[in-house]
């Protein structure tokens, strides 16, 4: 595995492949887990070269404490990437990603005004900027994003359209622990009681899926999900929304939309967990 720390060195390497062999990119913020590794293994199978970027992007944190506390373990990440024979790891410095401090004013209208966008002001502007910069440097043929961050995935698809980027965006299904908890770099911060309770998040999404399938009114589904999660006493729902899977706008009456998405954010002490599930009606 080759490790590059500057855009110039990485580009010299990638120029050997460009136009001849496909380049896959998996952007990450490090603190890698099996979810990241599954995406990387998939990209390694599909592409001649796979780049894993590791960059904790300050621009996407609206809370400085959250940024300071974000888990970082470069040596462990590198070892994990070596173990799966990742082709290239790119670990840039902030000054190389943001040579100019000012962010581009990229916006996504209604897509960014709900859920994560509403609770984390500026978050998607930061995400869009870093992804655009990484795409400009790497020019991947395919870039992979997890469905776990469903709203982010939709925003990135829009970004690529907005800037006519020549990169295909591929969604990767959420990878879960055996008990259903979506894998996340933040899970290590859960205390014992919170970790024990956390599988209820996915269980409540499964319940929502079943209810939606059976055309139970959206308001009732939301109430049941809240009740189930709050029964743990250590988890607090920040939002649970049933949205149109394409527009991310809330679904009010569930007989109006065939493809929905249930999206949830839960607070466990200082740790914020998100998850989501596809919803569909019984025909």
Contacts to ligand AMP by CB under 6 A: 28-29, 35-36, 39, 145-146, 148-149, 172, 174-175, 182-185
CB of 178 to ligand AMP, least distance (A): 13
Neighbours of 110 (CB within 10 A): 10
Answer whether 174's CB lies under 8 Å from 38's CB: no
As measured in angstroms, the least distance from the Cβ of 272 to ligand AMP is 12
CB 154 → ligand AMP: shortest distance, Å?
12
- Of 70 and 163, nearer to ligand AMP (C-beta) is 70
- If the CB atoms of residues 52 and 221 are measured against ligand AMP, the closer one turns out to be 52
Nearest residue (CB) to ligand AMP, 152 versus 232: 152
CB of 48 to ligand AMP, least distance (A): 21
Query: Maximum Cα–Cα distance for the chain, whole Å?
Result: 57
Catalytic residue among 33, 36, 123, 220: 36
Q: How far is the CB of 252 from ligand AMP (least distance, A)?
A: 28
- Interatomic CA distance for residues 22 and 45, integer angstroms: 11
Nearer CB in complex with ligand AMP: 7/30: 30
d(C-alpha 3, C-alpha 34), whole Å: 20
The number of beta carbons lying within 10 Å of the beta carbon of residue 156 is: 25
Q: Give me 260's structure tokens.
A: 């929905």
The residue written with tokens 């978050």 in the block is 123
DSSP string, 237-262: EEEEEEEETTT-PBPSSTTS-SEEEE
Residue 256's Cβ-count burial label (10 Å; 0-12, 13-18, 19+) is exposed
- Say whether 42 is catalytic: no
| CA distances from residue 230 to 143, 186, 236, 268 in whole angstroms, order as listed | 37, 20, 6, 11
Identify the helix (H) or strand (E) that includes residue 195: helix 192-197
- 7 or 35, CB closer to ligand AMP? 35
Nearer to ligand AMP, 180 or 217 (CB): 180
Give the chain's length: 283
- Closest distance of CB 40 from ligand AMP, Å: 9
Q: How are beta strands 88-90 and 142-146 bridged, if at all?
A: unpaired
Active-site residue numbers? 36
């Amino acid at each position: 595995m080759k490790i590059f720390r500057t855009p110039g060195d990485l580009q010299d390497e990638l120029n050997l492949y460009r136009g001849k062999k496909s380049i896959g990119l998996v952007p990450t913020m490090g603190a890698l887990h099996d979810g990241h590794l599954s995406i990387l293994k998939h990209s390694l199978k599909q592409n001649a070269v796979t780049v894993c970027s590791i960059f904790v992007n300050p621009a996407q944190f609206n809370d400085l404490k959250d940024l300071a506390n974000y888990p970082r373990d470069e040596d462990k990440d590198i070892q994990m990437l070596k173990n799966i024979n990742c082709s290239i790891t790119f670990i840039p410095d902030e000054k190389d990603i943001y040579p100019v401090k000012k962010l581009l004013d990229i916006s996504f209208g209604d897509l960014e005004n709900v859920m994560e966008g509403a609770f984390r002001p500026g978050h998607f502007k930061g995400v869009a900027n870093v992804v655009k910069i990484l795409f400009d440097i790497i020019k991947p043929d395919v870039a992979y994003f997890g469905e776990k961050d469903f709203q982010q995935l939709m925003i990135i698809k829009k970004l690529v359209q907005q800037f006519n980027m020549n990169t295909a965006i591929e969604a990767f299904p959420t990878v879960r622990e055996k008990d259903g908890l979506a894998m996340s770099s933040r899970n290590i911060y859960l205390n014992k009681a919170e970790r024990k309770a956390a599988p209820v998040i996915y269980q409540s999404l499964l319940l929502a899926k079943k209810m939606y399938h059976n055309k139970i009114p959206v308001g009732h589904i939301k109430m049941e999900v809240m009740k189930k999660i709050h029964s743990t006493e250590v988890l607090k729902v920040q939002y649970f929304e049933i949205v149109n899977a394409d527009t991310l706008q809330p679904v009010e009456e569930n007989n109006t939309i065939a493809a929905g998405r249930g999206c949830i954010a839960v607070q466990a002490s200082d740790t914020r967990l998100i998850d989501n599930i596809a919803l569909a009606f019984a025909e």
